[in-house]
Amino acid sequence: MIDRRSFLQGKLSLPFWGGWLWGRKAAAATAPRDFFKELGVRGFINAAEPFTALTGSLMTREVAEAWDYAAPKYVRLDELHDAIGRRIASLIGCEAAMVTSGAASALTLGTAACMTGSDRDKVRRLPDTTGMKTEVIIQKSHRYGYDHAVQIETAEELAHAINERTAMMHFFNTNDPLGKIKLAEFASIGRKHGIPTFNDIAADVPPVENLSKSITLGYSLVAVSGGKGLRGPQSCGLLFGRQDLIRAARLNGPPNSDAIGRGMKVNKEEMLGMMVALETYLKRDHQADWREWEKRVSLIRESVSSIKGVSSEMFVPDIHYRVPHVRIRWDASSMRLTVRDAIRLLREGEPSIEVRPNTNDGLEMGVWLLEPGQTEVVARRLRQVLS
Ligand SMILES: *Cc1c(COP(=O)(O)O)cnc(C)c1O
């Protein structure tokens, strides 16, 4: 430990961060702190999905390096936000983009943008909506935990529902198969009536094509999570699309005070990390990733293939987390083990393993968030639990 006095005297010429790093190195030479252990908090292997309550996905090394790069430097936030927005827009192939505090904040800021436009008086007035367009239209089958909207079912009902109070038309990408109005038609109806359309693709990357698909189809705004498949900072998201609406969304967000989104703060480390996450993701060999995930599924399936009464299969969800997963089924009564029991045993075992929480059709696991060496550990534990 450096005491404060010698720190101030000896290191005065170093910027604070230099001193901090120096202190960190000195400490590392003895024993690195195991913070989670100190706190009595247990880590786990993620054979589930990037759930917020499970801290999402892990940032890539490139993102962590960008974070460390930005941490000891000051920069003007709006200048950085502009530059990063331009870079991200060019990577996706759209007019404009911004880093938000999660996809959830992208939903709020994007909706606010459709209500206020660039009218600063309206921005200051929200959540008082007097005199603003206050209605968002959504298909009944697309209602979900993130919306608060006017619902319709058919294209006729939609055309009928559009009126002078309509601020936006919202699409929940995951539920596309359930709705009567499909992705492309919804956008074109919006265009025909001059109503901004929003597509929430928060958890629908990978596949990589989804990043630009909605823009190509004519959506005005798109939101995606930064800390799910993109493996950026978990507190980040992206909002992108029409230039005027992104400008309006920026007005409704930080660092502006007296704005509905002031609490949805994003700082330089997160913005830069998010940009690097996107760059890194776009450069990946997505086919090689897919083959690797299939290999992991096979390894897990093989580990239980010789256990009597146990069957397994690979499955790929339709839209949400559309990557190879594994499902294991067994006869719960003859094995005297329910899926719920297996989930608990995996969680409580050593090391702790989290799987998908579904219990209605076998034990489901994601393999795409596993780190090198962890597939073998999961396979071994699973075999123990089922034997
Ligand atoms: C996860 C999710 C969100 C919220 O995203 P955050 O990045 O956690 O804020 C919104 N919509 C859908 C469909 C999601 O899956």
Which parts of the chain fold into alpha helices (H)? 4-10, 16-30, 35-38, 61-70, 77-92, 102-116, 120-125, 155-161, 183-193, 210-216, 243-251, 268-283, 286-304, 332-335, 339-348, 374-386
Mean pLDDT of the chain: 92
Average pLDDT (139-162) is 88
Contact between residue 224 and residue 238 where contact means Cβ atoms under 8 Å apart? yes
- Bridge partners (DSSP) listed for residue 355: 47
Which residue's alpha carbon is nearest to atom 2 within ligand 1? Answer: 202
pLDDT number for residue 84: 98
CA of 139 to the centre of ligand 1 (A): 18
- Please name every residue paired with 98 in a beta bridge, in sequence order, or none if there are none: 239
SS3 152: strand
Q: Is the pLDDT of residue 159 over 80?
A: yes
Rounded Cα distance, 233 and 147, in Å: 24
What does each C-alpha distance from 78 to 17, 75, 85, 228 come to in angstroms?
23, 9, 10, 25
Å from CA of 357 to ligand 1 middle: 17
Indicate which atom in ligand 1 lies nearest the CA of residue 104.
Answer: 9
Residues 110-137: tens digit of each pLDDT: 999 999 999 999 999 998 988 899 899 9
Summarize the confidence of residues 353-358 as an average pLDDT: 97
pLDDT for 137 equals 94
- Residue 251 Cα to ligand 1 midpoint, Å, equals 22
pLDDT at residue 17 above 70? Answer: no
In the predicted structure, residue 358 carries a pLDDT above the cut 90: yes
Q: How far is the CA of 104 from the centre of ligand 1 (A)?
A: 5
Give the residue whose CA is nearest to atom 11 of ligand 1: 202
Nearest CA residue ID for atom 14, ligand 1: 202
CA 136 to ligand 1 center in whole angstroms: 18
pLDDT of amino acid 26: 56
Ligand 1 atom closest to the CA of 105, numbered from 1: 9
pLDDT at 18 over 80: no
**In the structure, which protein residues have their CB atom closer than 6 angstroms to any atom of ligand 1?**
52, 102-104, 146, 174, 200, 202-203, 225, 237
Q: How confident is residue 27, by pLDDT bands cut at 50, 70 and 90?
A: low
And the tokens for 58?
């892990």
Q: Model pTM?
A: 0.90
The pLDDT value recorded for residue 150 is 73
Is pLDDT above 60 for 19? no
Rounded to the nearest 10 degrees, the angle between the axes of helix 268-283 and helix 77-92 is: 20
